[in-house]
Amino acid sequence: MYKAMDAARDAGTKVAFTLSDSFVVDRHRTDLWQLFREGRIDILFANEAEIMSLAEHDSAEEAALAVAAEVPTVVVTRGEKGAFALSGGKKVSVAAEPIERLVDTTGAGDLFAAGFLAGEARGLGTERSLRLGAIAAAEVIQHYGARPEADLRALAGGLLG
């Protein structure tokens, strides 16, 4: 992992990291904080439970603020409550995208991260990147399986430019 992070840095790119699961956070909390303090992570993705576990705080927003002191961009997904990001000292929030029916949440976090990173790679800014993440996550939770079935570019509409 360190070699991959170093290679990314050497190539002039950012490093994004996801917490994956509260169990992982509980087991590796000290190591994660070390990564943050070493400046190895540029963008951190977490859901509410994961960020609260990491910071050992009972508020997702307060926990994210604690992590944002070490990580330039912290993105927190909140299920049907949408998502928020702390970046550059600012908080940006978006609502969840409307869905017809929740079927399977497998892959929702990964698709959210993919949408967000696609927006960031295009320089679209935090709010539009969050919206792209929400669109991608909303698509994948409406069917079984972790791969999108709809054309995400079409769903994004004018957001991609």
Active site (annotated) includes residue 110 = yes
What is the C-alpha radius of gyration for the chain, rounded to an integer number of angstroms?
A: 15
CA neighbor of 51 nearest in space, from 95, 80, 15, 84: 84
Which candidate in 31, 42, 58, 110 is catalytic? 110
Yes or no: say if 83 and 91 are a contact pair by the CB < 8 Å rule. no
Residue 128, CB-side half-sphere exposure with 13 Å CA sphere:
14
Query: What are the residue numbers of the active site?
Result: 110
